[in-house]
Amino acid sequence: MAAKAEAKTAKRETAAAAARAEEESQHQNDVDVCILCATRFLSAGGLARHRNSGCGKRTTIIEKEKRKARRSVVRRLESMDELVIEGNKQRIKDLALVTVDLSAPESTAAAVGIEVEDDGGGLVVTAVAGLALGSGLVGEGFVLVSVGGDPASADSIPTELAAGQKATFVFRRPLPNIPFRGSAREMIHKEPRFVMPREVEEWLREHAYDHDLGRDKMRPYVAYAALKAHFGGCLRNDTKTAMYLERDQVAKWIAEQKKEEKNRRRMKRAAEKMAASSAKVTSGTSSSKKAAKAPKKSTKEKAETAASGEENEVSESDDDNMCEEEMGGGAEFHAEWWPF
């Protein structure tokens, strides 16, 4: 058993040594390696057959794909778009550039009047005077780009110009103070509130609508024409526009007055109706209260009342008979005193 194990180990080691030797032999000669696809061969004939069988064709296809990508219309359009974008960015940057030509008088020298400070990103103008102030094109916060066509530096800025001398400066304006996007959106979408001038309202109340009678004095078109004729040469102090109202606004004001008058009359009628109903209810409740206050008689009291009523009737009839007997000849006396 030990001999067999040793034989197997020796065989395995021999195979590993042969594999290493073969691998080393492949790397000994660089001619046997395909340059295009990096395939390694044991002989030059194998490499030649490989190139003839298809490696050249694959290379041709790859080159065609690369050429197609280079000549692609999409790639060309993308390149053109990139060029346009870059040009637009440069154009926007150039919009901020200001070229200022300063020249001294022919007779005397003049101070340039530009003071700058280096803030790390460029030379920023801190003060303006002299020729720069007189040009009206330079302000504080501008960045100096070039002086006379050369890049700007603190030493290249002249303090004054000789008589008749000229100098060219290029500045970059700072970014304007633009509010954030959407900051004015609420104000844009909000409808402006109309405020009628006090003089116009007084004129309409006097001439266009009678609030005492509750009816209009003029039709809307007539009121508009009269209002325009009266305030034709007047302007408002707040908006600097014509003081008279438009025809639609006059008609709307008259319609609002009519609506208010109708509501006032409706409320007045409702109040009168409510007062009448409350008075009627009050009278009905007082009579019912009086009836409720009267005491009710019991059965015994009712019987006593009926007996007393019969006795009164009997006494009255007796009194009448007695009166007739006592008077006796009363009929003759009346007959003589009152002849018929």
Evaluate if residue 267 carries a pLDDT over 90.
Answer: yes
**Over 70: is that where the pLDDT of 191 sits?**
no
Q: Say if residues 216 and 208 touch (Cβ distance below 8 Å).
A: yes
Q: How far apart are CA 67 and CA 129, in angstroms?
A: 62
User: Which tokens go with 210?
Assistant: 């009678």
Query: Which tokens belong to 272?
Result: 């009168």
Say how far apart CA 130 and CA 178 lie, in whole Å: 31
| Dist CA 144 CA 175 (whole Å) | 14
Q: Reply yes or no on whether the pLDDT at 114 is more than 80.
A: yes
Mean pLDDT for the stretch of residues 234-241 = 82
Q: How confident is the model at residue 28 (pLDDT cuts 50, 70, 90)?
A: low
Tell me how far the alpha carbon of residue 206 is from its chain's centroid: 40
Q: What is the pLDDT of residue 330?
A: 43
3-state secondary structure of 245: coil
Helix intervals (H) in 112-184:
130-135
State percent of the chain over pLDDT 90. Answer: 15
Identify the pLDDT of residue 288: 56
271 Cβ neighbours under 8 A, 6+ residues apart: none
Rg (CA), the chain: 62
| Mean per-residue pLDDT, 201-205 | 91
Predicted pLDDT at 325? 45
pLDDT of residue 47: 80
* Residue whose entry in the numeric block shows the structure tokens 């009523």: 309
Give alpha helix (H) positions in the chain.
Answer: 2-28, 44-50, 56-70, 73-95, 130-135, 185-189, 198-207, 220-230, 247-293, 299-327, 330-337
Whether residue 260 is predicted with pLDDT greater than 50 in this model: the reply is yes
Q: What is the pLDDT of residue 64?
A: 77
Structure tokens that stand for 255 in this block: 């319609």
CATH topology of domain 82-172: Pdz3 Domain (2.30.42)
Q: Where are the domains of the chain?
A: 2-64, 82-172, 194-266
Task: Give me the residues paired with residue 146 across strands.
Answer: 151, 170
Amino acid in position 88: N
Q: Which of 48-52, 296-300, 310-314 has the lowest mean pLDDT?
A: 310-314
Beta bridge partner(s), residue 172: 97, 143
